[in-house]
Structure 1
Amino acid sequence: MIETSGQALDLWQISGRDHPAHVADHRLVECEVMGTMLASPHPGEWRTIRHCEAVGCRQYNCSLAGTAIEDCLLDTMGQAGPMYLTLDACVFRRVIMRGRLTTMLFRFDPHPFSGTGGGPDFKDRWRAEMAAYYRSGSRNLEADWALDITEARFTALTSLTIVPGELVRFDPDRAIRIRRDALTGNWAEEMPGVMQICCEDFLEGPFDSFVVQRGESKVNRERFAREAAWMRDHGFADPA
């Protein structure tokens, strides 16, 4: 593993390519990372980040799309620029997130390197490929978990809509798992607004459940505690 400390880096410098597609075996310590990894115009042709660690780093307007992140560690990441860390149509396998983490947006819609990848069904085909990716590891869920956020401390409420909830390891004191089969009928009636938004985003995807984790400011913790209790009491979220 190549270790780099205290530097400002673009993803192309790490990957050695003008348009980064694959990164492996790097450990970044207290670095500032910038750049984007854009989705392939061919759904299911994953960009990859494998066997990498980022410890005590900051991100500057980073975004990943159509990327498979596997066997990686993200331990404490701040925000250097004005933009949040965006993860669009990304998939995960055995990824640990821990420590205080910048605001992250997990979204279904990818942004391809060029064009639209073949028409109006481009987004739908990417979502089908995301589902297929997780099915490939479904025979051994214990070994092929996706994300471990048990020790993560997000700066803002974080909705992991693009990751199957059963493949996320989390602390039930800081997160809830919401199931698709509970979102029937007039499911949104009286539901707290932020939870409605999270559920609406989730329903655009192919998965059966997802996890929402609180932000760590005092106001966010108190609000989340109330809303998580409401979701559990009304049968939308798993019991604590």
Structure 2
Amino acid sequence: MVVRVERQAVQGIRHIGSPHACTGIDVAGSSLTSCFLAQFDDPNFGLIVRDAWVQACTVDRCQVQGVYFDGATVDGLITKQIHGIYGCVFSRVVLKGKIGSVMVMPPHTSLAHRDLHIAGMVQKYREVEWALDISEASFMDADFYGVPGDLVKYDPETQVLLRREKLEDVPLEELPTYAEAAHDDRGIAPGSQPPSSSRTCAS
């Protein structure tokens, strides 16, 4: 069953907890304000969004934490501010078209049992064929921390994959400005032995 939301102003919808699955969501031409989708105590990532399509939408003050996105497409997204996505796992997720400011981060530092969630991310990514396809996206600003670089499809002409192992021995002063932040944050990728530790930057 597909749930379609078209040209609606959606405000204040919240779901907290796991396990729970949202399947067959189709949102078009709508605005989402102060919506919240999160779980804080399930390192097995039982909070799942599957087979979702988001097109030409706007998000404002929405929060996402600990979600497993399995098969989703976002085609055009306006963000009112930098949209932070914390501790999520992506499988076959496509971002394309014009996308606002997005920052994908590891689990929030305030999360209890954060190490278990990071270990859960590492395990999930070992089961993923590919995580993100951002090759057809034009971002206002975007950073993807903690997503294994080998699982990201990107456009090398306009997007940069920074691998942590490549930065280890490079003096900070020799790096371009955009790479300095990645050098400083190189320790935040999931797990001590992730499949690939990297940061993808796009604009």
TM over 0.5, yes or no? yes
Per-residue deviation, residues 26-65 of structure 1 (Å, max 9, x unmatched): 1111010131112222323442111110101100111211
User: Structure 2: how far apart are the matches of 1:153 and 1:106?
Assistant: 16
- Aligned pairs for 1:33-182 within 5 A: 33-34=32-33, 35-79=35-79, 81=80, 83-110=81-108, 116-117=111-112, 122-137=113-128, 144-156=129-141, 158-182=142-166
Equivalent residue letter for 1:213: C
Equivalent residue letter for 2:115: D
CA contact (8 A) 2:83 2:103 kept: yes
**If the length of structure 1 is used for normalisation, what is the TM-score?**
0.73
SS at match of 2:145: coil
Aligned to 2:202: 214
CA contact (8 A) 2:65 2:87 kept: yes
Identity of aligned residues (%): 22
Per-residue deviation, residues 70-103 of structure 1 (Å, max 9, x unmatched): 1000000112x4x322110111000000011110
Higher strand share: 2
Aligned to 1:228: none
Could you say if the C-alpha distance between residues 124 and 7 of structure 1 is closer, same or farther in structure 2, counting changes exceeding 3 Å?
A: same
After TM superposition, the runs of 4+ consecutive aligned structure 1 residues lying more than 4 A away are none
CA contact (8 A) 1:24 1:50 kept: yes
Higher helix share: 1
Could you say if the C-alpha distance between residues 209 and 187 of structure 1 is closer, same or farther in structure 2, counting changes exceeding 3 Å?
A: farther
Q: By how many angstroms is 1:209 displaced?
A: 3.6
Question: Rg bigger for which structure?
Answer: 1
CA contact (8 A) 1:159 1:198 kept: no
Aligned to 1:220: none
Q: By how many angstroms is 1:18 displaced?
A: 5.3
User: Structure 1: how far apart are the matches of 2:87 and 2:121?
Assistant: 7
Could you say if the C-alpha distance between residues 68 and 111 of structure 1 is closer, same or farther in structure 2, counting changes exceeding 3 Å?
A: farther
Aligned to 1:238: none
- Number of aligned positions between the proteins: 195
Aligned to 1:7: 8
| Coordinate RMSD, CA, aligned | 2.2
User: Structure 1: how far apart are the matches of 2:132 and 2:10?
Assistant: 25
**If the length of structure 2 is used for normalisation, what is the TM-score?**
0.85
Q: Which runs of 5+ in 1 are unaligned?
A: 138-143, 216-240
